[in-house]
Chain A
Amino acid sequence: MITIAWKELRSFLNSPIAYIFLIAFTGWLSGSYFVWGKVGQGLTFFSVGNTSLDVYFSLVPQAFVLLVPALAMRLWPDELKSGTVELLMTYPLRTWEVVCGKFLAGLALIALGLVFTLPVPWTVAIYGDLDWGPVWGAYIASLMLGGAFLSIGLFMGALCSEQVTAFIVTAAICLLFVLMGDTLINLFIPRGLHELSNALSFSARFNYLGRGVVDVADAFYFSSVTGVFLLLNCTVIESRKGV
């Protein structure tokens, strides 16, 4: 599993996508926060004027909706197209090891992207009294959210075996998960479904976790979504063997 992760990671680093991801992610967050403001709200560090990083971390989901699917989209389709999947699947590896190895490689890159944003809380901490508790909470929440998006993207790649399709579908699903539970969105869906929509929403849970309110239920929700999509991924790969 570690070898697979390693193989994927070095192939990430050999392609532009890893660097695009890292630069775009840090750029998006810092740019929105300090310069042009959050999409749809125009809030920046200066307009909010306090040293809480709420606004900063609330940028993570929108950045991830575009960037994580881009990262995940090549993990399976490359292998399915070039036929190297036949090598991989005839090696003495279990399907879940291959799937988890690929997942870990993506997660490592997401973690790296988050590490690159650390200078921002540091900077803020210089200006004022920063409570680091919520900051770490937000980092954990971000990693979990990224993991959930990644598992969706990985699954879609295995299912469609086509990068562009996988990217579009994944981004759409991720966006849906983020928007669900939003008051604006709730206007458009039947009242009876509001509860469900709120329960499935990534944003609300992300915000709670991000405030340092580490609720086991929220953490469990993200892990479950990730787990379910990894499992579905194994099933798709297994089903390719046919009967």
Chain B
Amino acid sequence: MPMIEVADLRKDYGSFRALDGVSFTLDRGEILGFLGPNGAGKTTTMKILTGFLYPTSGRATVAGHDVMENSVEVRRRIGYLPEHTPLYDDMTVSEYLHTCGRLRGMAGSRLAERKQAVIGLTALGAKARAPIHTLSKGYRQRVGLAQALLHEPEIIILDEPTVGLDPNQVVDVRAIMREVGRDRTVILCSHILSEVEAVCARVIIINDGRIVADGATADLARQHAGAPLYRVQVEGSLAALTAALQQLPGASQPVLAQAGGSNYCIEVSIAGAPVDAAAAIMAAVNSVGLRLVALEPRHATLEDVFRKLTRPTEHAA
């Protein structure tokens, strides 16, 4: 049985449709990157999974429990770090975690042990007695994480956990996410590609309330990038190079990527990605008497896929 099952989820805010038929399943132990530009519907999806909002239509189950009918059972199994990390500012870190544990029905030595464990994991020891309103953004984020991990939930949902952190803090938080992701199901919402690539084995890309890609992080770029791109660098004339490349069957319009003196770099792809594409390009360059400096295939990155699938102009058209 999948850990999370989402089927044809729709959510309307008044007349605005924020989610428009979102479906996916997530198995136990998967680490999913839920990726999308701002306003795509990531937070809305997470609010539905955690029972904070009801969907307008569609179904979502967590560990077999329906999010609307069996909300409390669902919430018991989830550790959630909401966007913007709301915390009870007037409490100290230790009081806060204690209260969170009590609200989850934890008590006594188990609560004390778990509190110690999450404080250790998130390196909050030095700040345990500090009032939360005195903490920096990075520490607040860790408190939010500690709160989400306190009850050893089966599922951990983190909504934009590294927004507003400096690079060192980002590395720290990612390390924590990787650590907890070893034996739990994790959903990481983010609009930061490198983060998802660094932490998640699987990616879903959502745009305008619809899922536009879903697959292994490693495969996704290959699947959606189309024909591979070649970077061709030559000494000589730009016009001659362009003309020569355009002669090739299936060649795309060459794009100038770099220029320095008489040294040009051009990007071109060959439709159908024939095995001898590189050899054909080399021959074309030689045939017009240009000196080939470098020729390398440029593998499409997740960023290319993301930009291709979520460009706003495509949807406006």
Interface string of A22-37 (1 = CB under 8 A from B): 0000000000000000
Chain B 79-98 interface mask (CB, 8 Å, partner A; 1/0): 01010101111110001000
A243 close to chain B: CB less than 8 A: yes
User: For the complex, is B237 an interface residue (Cβ under 8 Å from A)?
Assistant: no
A81 CB to closest chain B CB, in angstroms? 10
Q: How many angstroms from the CA of A150 to the CA of B209 in the assembled complex?
A: 41
B51–A3 CB distance below 8 A: no
* A91 close to B99 (CB less than 8 A): no
A89 within 8 A of B: yes
**What per-residue 1/0 map shows which CB atoms of B185-204 lie under 8 Å from chain A?**
00000000000000000000
Contacting pair B82 A86 (CB below 8 A)? yes
Answer yes or no: B53 CB below 8 A from chain A CBs.
yes
B156 within 8 Å of A (CB atoms): no
Chain A residues 6-45 with CB under 8 Å of chain B are: 6-7, 10-11, 14-15
In the assembly, what is the distance between CA of A231 and CA of B47, in Å?
Answer: 24
B80 CB contacts on chain A under 8 angstroms? 87, 90
Does any Cβ of B come within 8 Å of A66's Cβ?
A: no
Which of A15, A90, A241 sits near B54, CB closer than 8 Å? A241
Q: Closest B-chain residue to A2, C-beta based?
A: B102
Q: How far is the CB of A18 from chain B (nearest CB, A)?
A: 13
A90, A241, A243 — most chain B CB neighbours (10 Å): A90
Tell me which of A11, A86, A93 contacts B103 (CB under 8 A).
A93
Check: B105 CB closer than 8 A to any chain A CB. Answer: yes
Closest 6 CB pairs of A and B: A83-B86, A90-B50, A92-B76, A3-B102, A84-B86, A92-B75
Contact mask A77-101 → B, CB, 8 Å, 1/0? Answer: 0000011111111111110000000
* B281 CB to nearest A CB, Å: 55
Question: Is B72 within 8 A of A92, CB to CB?
Answer: yes
Total residues of chain B contacting the partner, CB 8 A: 31
From A241, which residue of chain B is reached at the shortest CB distance?
B54
Residue A179 CB within 8 A of the other chain? no
- Report how far A17 CA is from B17 CA in the complex, Å: 42
| Contact yes or no, A11 B88, CB < 8 A | yes
Query: Quick check: is A4 within 8 A (CB to CB) of the other chain?
Result: yes
**Contact yes or no, B51 A11, CB < 8 A:** no
A87–B13 alpha-carbon span in the complex (Å): 21
Q: A7-B88, A10-B95, A92-B105 are in contact. List 5 more A-B contacts (CB 8 A).
A: A84-B86, A86-B86, A241-B52, A242-B11, A242-B56
A to B contact number (C-beta, < 8 Å): 68
Report the nearest A residue to B74, measured CB to CB.
A92
Note all chain A residues with C-beta closer than 8 A to B147.
87
Cβ–Cβ contact B84 & A83, under 8 A: yes
A90, B53: Cβ atoms closer than 8 Å: no
Given known A-B contacts A3-B102, A92-B105, A93-B103, A243 and B86 have beta carbons under 8 A apart:
no
A87–B47 alpha-carbon span in the complex (Å) = 11
Q: Given the known A-B contacts A11-B90, A82-B89, A83-B84, are A90 and B103 also in contact in the complex, defined by CB atoms under 8 Å? A: no
B54 — which chain A residues lie within 8 A by C-beta? 241-243
A199 to B263, CA, bound (A): 95
Tell me, rounded to whole Å, the shortest Cβ–Cβ distance linking A158 to chain B.
15
Residue ID in chain B nearest A84 by CB atoms: B86
Report the minimal beta-carbon distance from A155 to chain B, rounded to whole angstroms: 21
* CB 8 Å contact bits of B35-51 with A (1 = contact, 0 = none): 00000000000010011
What residues on A are CB-neighbors of B178 within 8 Å?
none
Task: Name A3's contact: one of B13, B72, B99 (CB within 8 Å).
Answer: B99
Indicate if the CB atoms of B104 and A92 lie closer than 8 Å: yes
Known contacts: A4-B103, A241-B53. The answer to whether A90 contacts B75 by CB under 8 A is: yes
